[in-house]
Amino acid sequence: MLRELAWLLSATPLRTFPMRIHALVLALTLAALPATSQETSVLVARDEQGAAEAWLSPGSDLLVTRPEDGGSGVFLERGSFPRFAPDGRVLYTETLDDGHEILSSRTMVLDPGTRSPRPLRRGERELEYRRPPLSPGDTTAVRVCIDPGHGGTDPGAIGFGLQEKDITLDIALRLRHLLRLDTWNTKGGGSWDVLMTRDDDVYVGLSQRANLANAFGAQSFLSIHVNSFSSSSANGTETYCYLGQSLNAGGMLRNAVHEEAIRAWGLRNRGVKEANFAVLRLTAMPAALAETGFITSPIDIVKLQDPEARAEMALGYLFALQLHHGFQMFDPRPSGGFLGLAR
Ligand SMILES: [Zn+2]
């Protein structure tokens, strides 16, 4: 948080001073209060040239503004995934829904200096989120939010004497450990700032999880879950991104997570999917939701109940995050090492 604060301070042009002060007060407030007390806007994204910034107000819309706008800007709905192109365009996803289902989804563009969005033209290139440039010695950390499903009074799915909330937390804690090891280990892999939406057996609401990730400025969001079905015959692994995001950064993250999850456990491949899950809809960064396996399946439970297997899944998620953010696949465990093509 201190580093974030220092960054906010250093990026304060005079022209939009009131807004930056606003955010500064917020950053201080966030630093001092539990995450449930977010009241005002936070910076969720900024392009590298300083041409545009995105702010999120919990409970309202996403505000995209440019320094020359003097504080006025364009309101985007949450879940619209603003993306900044090097030429100053802001791209985002506009969805049409009937209150229940998304009817259509398209990519909209805000050209530099305008406030009238237009649809992406046929053949016009869309540029995805770009990770910070990495060069030898560059220690820029990628901010990643890990979301262990359920918790506290919400056990999630139940089967074979196990509760989903315990399995998701176990895998998430193992993943955090691996991300930390990867950060400390300078021989390869990535450098990570990790936020957990919970690291204990506590209840956290769905929008609160998304708000935590948005306020953190996460560059990736991974929600970990366990599936269930009324029949024990359903089994396998499936992974989700938000509706309409299959070809965008969210879909790419999802695909990487899914591929590594299938490799880790070798369960039935149920494929990659899209869904209107709250944590995918409300997060302002590429987000994936992993259904590791079915707690009601006698096949999948073998993996779900096995601590070794959970560690393997956590390692798979680490690999997925490394690949998604442009790092080389690297096992940072002391007994591990570089996992090249031989894997
Ligand atoms: Zn779940």
Residue 101 within any structural domain of the chain: yes
Give the distance (Å) from ligand 1 centre to CA of residue 176: 19
Residue 127 within any structural domain of the chain: no
Give the distance (Å) from ligand 1 centre to CA of residue 203: 13
Give the distance (Å) from ligand 1 centre to CA of residue 241: 14
Angle of the 249-265 helix axis to the 307-324 helix axis, nearest 10: 150
- 264 Cβ contact list (under 8 Å, min separation 6): 309, 312, 313, 315, 316
Shared-domain flag, residues 162 and 62: no
Shared-domain flag, residues 308 and 162: yes
Shared-domain flag, residues 225 and 109: no
Residue 134 within any structural domain of the chain: no
Shared-domain flag, residues 156 and 98: no
**What residue has token string 């002060």?**
21
Residue 339 within any structural domain of the chain: no
Annotated catalytic, 94?
no
Active-site residue identified among 4, 164, 238, 291:
291
Residue 33 within any structural domain of the chain: yes
Shared-domain flag, residues 53 and 106: yes
pLDDT tens digits for range 303-326:
999 999 999 999 999 999 999 988
Q: Are 94 and 83 in contact (CB under 8 A)?
A: no
Q: What is the mean pLDDT of the chain?
A: 76
- Bridge partners (DSSP) of residue 46 are 53
Shared-domain flag, residues 14 and 59: yes
Shared-domain flag, residues 111 and 174: no
Give the distance (Å) from ligand 1 centre to CA of residue 23: 34
Q: What CATH number is given to the structural domain containing 298?
A: 3.40.630.40
pLDDT tens digits for range 279-296:
998 888 999 999 999 999
Shared-domain flag, residues 214 and 316: yes
Residue 126 within any structural domain of the chain: no
Residue 133 within any structural domain of the chain: no
Q: Which of 55, 85, 119 is the last residue of a domain?
A: 119
Domain, as residue range, for 93: 2-119
Region of poorest pLDDT, from 128-132, 158-162, 220-224, 283-287: 128-132
Shared-domain flag, residues 156 and 92: no
Give the distance (Å) from ligand 1 centre to CA of residue 162: 13
DSSP 152: T
Q: Are 199 and 176 in contact (CB under 8 A)?
A: yes
Shared-domain flag, residues 72 and 164: no
Instruction: Give the chain's domain count.
Output: 2
pTM of the predicted protein model: 0.63
How far apart CA 96 and CA 102 sit, in angstroms, is: 6
Shared-domain flag, residues 181 and 316: yes
Shared-domain flag, residues 311 and 210: yes
pLDDT tens digits for range 60-114:
455 666 656 555 566 666 566 666 665 667 777 787 767 666 677 788 888 877 7
Give the distance (Å) from ligand 1 centre to CA of residue 228: 9
Q: Are 81 and 92 in contact (CB under 8 A)?
A: yes
